[in-house]
Structure 1
């Protein structure tokens, strides 16, 4: 349900239009939310520091890196982050937060797991364990300015989280002694048990002493194997420790070294959530209930002397997909319920492949007061965002905004003295996906509207948001600012989306399900050969394209309005002729749909062209002057260039021209191909040409104009550059998105561009719907 009575805040920024219902009793009961404070100020991304820049400025080294937990020097000018993959910590200069600079790395002699700062020193927890049984660790004291080791303190076990007291008298180090998840079913108990180590930080680091606090025997769940995960310290020097697998929380008085209170984190019933991610392709259906789900908190942060918040990521037995607020007496003050799951569905960040596990997996929380307003920041590991909540009203967090992050944010750090927020994203995999680079996300609290999301959905009749993701082709309505988009083969039950681009963020206000009630797909069986070969697909493959409810499982990559009403959809084929590892499971097909999404007709390529099919097929479609113009992504067998197919609707005949691609220029190689196409009139068309690279490796993201006047079958077309959109993509201050796949020109001449976020599968989920303004198109 959209929150009402937010007129003041909405006047400042439409980012609040997606505000969701909150819950405070664990059963999704809605509560009335108050307006946010400082309605004219928001956090916006000001820079993204790719950790690979520590290796070389060009980021051409594929060595995996990671930024997991991040801390800042006392003046907030230098960041220190842990890089467990390389056994080191890194330093970054953020004196100018818009232009972070690498300051080098320092080897830790083990796996750094956490870091905090005390005075001139970074305090790094380092795991030096031989295995899961023979555990050891150390606390490494580092001079930040000199970037050198000052002292090392033995911890006796495998450390995880580390925190310091505000007065600087104590350090608290969680000794997790994590379990072997490959042993048996991976469940506790597995010796040795975990505990908390207190470091009395009196005098020089070499003289610091440690004390051990036993956590075994506190929880009802796995009492003999304490699994402490995260620690935070309040102004009274009380440490709150989450025991994730035990679903328990302990409060420790650091002065006495005693557990002062402990209690279960409890369970929550989640309604209207998606718990199913199989069979593939995927379907986001916010219609299921998960009863009595253990919270199993991970990150924790104090909000005051008497309250703290937990990120309920979960592990073996739970994970409630949100966050909670507890009082120090153990009473639950607030629970987010399905709030974050609905948020992810609304902004296209729902990771459907995690639906049967722990959903968006809130990993961490932190708290900070900015310009007199208290904010809670919740990092979602699987959806790669940081959700921001206004904490002005007791026990009533008010959603303020959501921030995009590089993949898998883990550590979150507020630096109110500099109006900065930092999120450390750990996922890095250049070798298999150029879009995944570990990074430090830098956000600034500023007098400006929220820049993200660029697209969000309204609610369905049942109060849940229209879930969406993997946005592919776009087409504009003949008047006004409405565009239509589609989702691709990541999802079954494909849909068309009606989007109002006149507001910011753009509003996805209607979904149209594509259906085949008249059996048009099954009727293609009459055109199939009697025996399946590498050049065709069979009746079994056809049957897989239609679901029991009549919805269809296509790969819609292009969409165009049909002059007689309804839509044209270009569905990319699956498989490559002659390649056993990629059998042909579907052909490249054109679907004529009614305005309500019913398949009315199907157009096939000539058999001789089908016989050349590669897996990079139809990407865009446009109707103009009685013809359909199709953009093929890459060259097919025997061709030097990708095809531009032209189908005459009256004569029912095909012609094919060829499009010359730019040469590959990315240092990560890859390929260059076409995405969408849109008609400009007078036989002119605008196309997207892009490489398959993202982040620092992206090089080719361009809009070209082609002219089919006088072009005949076999013509190699010429092209005219309209705009290099790489600077536009970089303007978001994030890692450059890879798949710009949707293109539309509004009636007023404004050009819109959107990327496909791959359904948040090996992708951070960021969707940039960019309005480029009125370009010189003719």
Structure 2
């Protein structure tokens, strides 16, 4: 596939754009630099940054998740460290301004508990009538957390709270508005002294926003994983690492303590939730009416030795070389979304990857270190055995929890963490589409000397030995009758766009990054540069959350995308625009 690319640092003029009838042009203030843009020859759409809200806070998750309220033209962004949600007025999207902050600490819950100082806001969702919901983890993250309700259409007044599971990481509201669903990740304590159960809480919401203050604890039901303990755990679902007790000291429910729900999507009928279990490389299916986990299925692994599924495995080979290697990749998705084609529901995942590293337990190791410090070596008859140099597989981080020969003597297969891709699945676990090596191919062509860079500093191949561009954020949106997936690359930065209208014939459309890769923030700060000035020059670093705004709900009367970037502490608004051929 041929593509049009703006070079990395010497960026040319923007391509001319015309908009369809439903998309009207909007004024935009000029960016301090031209974004990197890389288009497929037949690209129908691209995105153009029109305005940015900046906190000036570097690498503290000051802008993490973003939600939109159409009636008031407000964005709500999560400031995790401050335990608050910021309300942004985006009626003039070229200059988003903060209206107020919703503080979650001090709010009393239905069970009598109070959200303490030191609590952390993780996620936000807003119902069309203005009922806002914030997922809040406790100051002791292994304790139970809360959902805090607030008036998103007013001045952000707290409307009450309910208790949910440990470390509520992501909350969503069902399409019918009747239910809030939260993934309680249940991460262990940092020193691995306590490991709570993962779970999914299902909260019955009132029809009227003002009735949220009357929510009771019995309106919360929690779906656990007890039915999947022991021999009931489906094949391939990863349960591994030390067996650590919960806060009560109990060693019951080993599987439930090991599974860590990450992200939730709900089908269009508001009946079923699909939840990523990232470290377990699995998806859980939850019946919302019964608040019951009805199925858990493994995502399996992709084979990087197959043509079209390669990776760049080394940060020491001095070349952007996406190639086939005798390694498998665990998908391990973070974000999940869903959409309907005909009568079929499809699940879309951003396959970030994540390792478990708690206390003295460290899951990943470099391939060249297998065989040292008590680790089993690579099997002598493995095709990887002759590729242990740094320029081959030696530097690649792989899991030590998977791939051992049955007798435990050596690693007969190597498993990298993350698919370096996004995927489309059926609701019974069939892989319908995977982007393969496209994310690395496109970023290699678009970013040049910043290929596989980190987010906090710019460097060639800095992440090739780990998870590459690291797809994390994901949302879906419809433009002119076609459905698109917008995939945020956490490390490389920027957004990939794919046409997923026909799931099995998904095609790359465009890649845009609102980042100046000539500015390496960590290096600049080490040299004494001003934080605010450096961040303003660098642009957006580390997209964590994305939301799509359809044209009929947008202040510009054309589709809009909002991207929250946790490393740069910025939220940037983009017009979604049609591409005109020259």
TM range (shorter): 0.5 to 0.7
Equivalents in 1 of 2:96, 2:173: separation in Å? Answer: 26
Q: 1:285 aligns with which of 311, 316, 321?
A: 321
**Contact 2:151/2:157 (8 A) holds in 1:** yes
* Alpha-carbon distance, 1:372 to partner: 1.8
Q: Cα 1:17–1:369, aligned 2, differ >3 Å: closer, same or farther? A: closer
- Residues 623-638 of structure 1: matches in 2 within 5 Å? none
Q: 1:342 aligns with which of 441, 464, 478?
A: 441
**SS, match of residue 353 in structure 1:** coil
Structure 1 counterpart of 2:475: 366
**Contact 1:161/1:174 (8 A) holds in 2:** yes
Q: 1:221 aligns with which of 225, 238, 242?
A: 238
**Contact 2:16/2:579 (8 A) holds in 1:** no
TM-score normalised to the size of structure 2? 0.65
Q: Does 1:46 align with 2:50?
A: yes
Equivalents in 2 of 1:51, 1:449: separation in Å? Answer: 35
- Residues 367-766 of structure 1: matches in 2 within 5 Å? 367-405=476-514, 406-416=540-550, 417=552, 418=554, 419-427=559-567, 437-447=568-578
* Alpha-carbon distance, 1:262 to partner: 2.6
**Bigger RCO of structures 1 and 2 (CA < 8 A, at least 6 apart):** 2
Equivalents in 2 of 1:254, 1:163: separation in Å? Answer: 13
Equivalents in 1 of 2:345, 2:37: separation in Å? Answer: 31
Q: Does 1:269 align with 2:303?
A: yes
Two-structure CA RMSD over aligned residues (Å): 2.7
Q: Does 1:86 align with 2:82?
A: yes
Q: 2:423 aligns with which of 315, 324, 327?
A: 324
Q: 1:151 aligns with which of 155, 160, 178?
A: 160
Q: Does 1:121 align with 2:131?
A: yes
CA deviations 1:222-262 (Å, max 9, x no partner) are: 13411110001121221110000111001212112223433
Structure 2 counterpart of 1:551: none
Q: 2:463 aligns with which of 354, 360, 375?
A: 354
* Alpha-carbon distance, 1:283 to partner: 4.1
CA deviations 1:539-580 (Å, max 9, x no partner) are: xxxxxxxxxxxxxxxxxxxxxxxxxxxxxxxxxxxxxxxxxx
Equivalents in 2 of 1:250, 1:64: separation in Å? Answer: 30
Structure 1 counterpart of 2:334: 298
**Contact 1:45/1:403 (8 A) holds in 2:** no
Unaligned runs of 5+ in 1: 5-9, 20-34, 53-60, 185-189, 428-436, 451-503, 505-778
CA deviations 1:123-172 (Å, max 9, x no partner) are: 000011414x4x12111111122122111111142100111111111110
Structure 2 counterpart of 1:244: 278
Equivalents in 1 of 2:282, 2:72: separation in Å? Answer: 33
**SS, match of residue 439 in structure 2:** helix
Q: Cα 1:262–1:236, aligned 2, differ >3 Å: closer, same or farther? A: farther
* Alpha-carbon distance, 1:285 to partner: 2.7
**SS, match of residue 354 in structure 1:** coil
Structure 2 counterpart of 1:170: 179
**Contact 1:129/1:158 (8 A) holds in 2:** no
Structure 2 counterpart of 1:68: 64
Structure 1 counterpart of 2:527: none
* Alpha-carbon distance, 1:49 to partner: 1.4
CA deviations 1:13-71 (Å, max 9, x no partner) are: 9977556xxxxxxxxxxxxxxx56xx3x432111121123xxxxxxxx88956110110
**Contact 1:51/1:65 (8 A) holds in 2:** no
Equivalents in 2 of 1:386, 1:76: separation in Å? Answer: 26
CA deviations 1:582-637 (Å, max 9, x no partner) are: xxxxxxxxxxxxxxxxxxxxxxxxxxxxxxxxxxxxxxxxxxxxxxxxxxxxxxxx
Equivalents in 2 of 1:449, 1:386: separation in Å? Answer: 20
Q: Cα 1:447–1:283, aligned 2, differ >3 Å: closer, same or farther? A: closer
Which shows bigger deviation, 346-355 or 246-255?
346-355
**Contact 2:17/2:577 (8 A) holds in 1:** no
Equivalents in 1 of 2:351, 2:426: separation in Å? Answer: 16
Structure 1 counterpart of 2:267: 234
* Alpha-carbon distance, 1:88 to partner: 1.4
**Contact 1:175/1:196 (8 A) holds in 2:** yes
* Alpha-carbon distance, 1:89 to partner: 1.1
**Contact 1:366/1:412 (8 A) holds in 2:** yes
Equivalents in 2 of 1:194, 1:245: separation in Å? Answer: 12
**Contact 2:100/2:155 (8 A) holds in 1:** no
Equivalents in 1 of 2:350, 2:59: separation in Å? Answer: 31
**SS, match of residue 297 in structure 1:** coil
**SS, match of residue 313 in structure 2:** coil
Equivalents in 2 of 1:99, 1:12: separation in Å? Answer: 22
Q: Cα 1:103–1:290, aligned 2, differ >3 Å: closer, same or farther? A: farther
**Contact 1:87/1:108 (8 A) holds in 2:** yes
**SS, match of residue 440 in structure 2:** helix
Equivalents in 2 of 1:116, 1:290: separation in Å? Answer: 42
Unaligned runs of 5+ in 2: 5-14, 19-35, 106-118, 240-254, 356-398, 400-416, 454-460, 515-539
**Contact 2:165/2:201 (8 A) holds in 1:** no
Equivalents in 1 of 2:353, 2:131: separation in Å? Answer: 33
Equivalent pairs, count: 402
CA deviations 1:717-770 (Å, max 9, x no partner) are: xxxxxxxxxxxxxxxxxxxxxxxxxxxxxxxxxxxxxxxxxxxxxxxxxxxxxx
**Contact 2:473/2:545 (8 A) holds in 1:** yes
Structure 1 counterpart of 2:97: 101
**Contact 2:80/2:121 (8 A) holds in 1:** yes
Equivalents in 2 of 1:346, 1:3: separation in Å? Answer: 9
CA deviations 1:58-107 (Å, max 9, x no partner) are: xxx88956110110113261011110122211111001112211212232
Equivalents in 1 of 2:426, 2:58: separation in Å? Answer: 46
* Alpha-carbon distance, 1:412 to partner: 0.6
**Contact 2:123/2:170 (8 A) holds in 1:** yes
CA deviations 1:264-304 (Å, max 9, x no partner) are: 1111123442111248xx54332352522110111000022
Structure 2 counterpart of 1:205: 212
Equivalents in 2 of 1:403, 1:16: separation in Å? Answer: 6
Structure (1 or 2) with the larger CA radius of gyration:
1
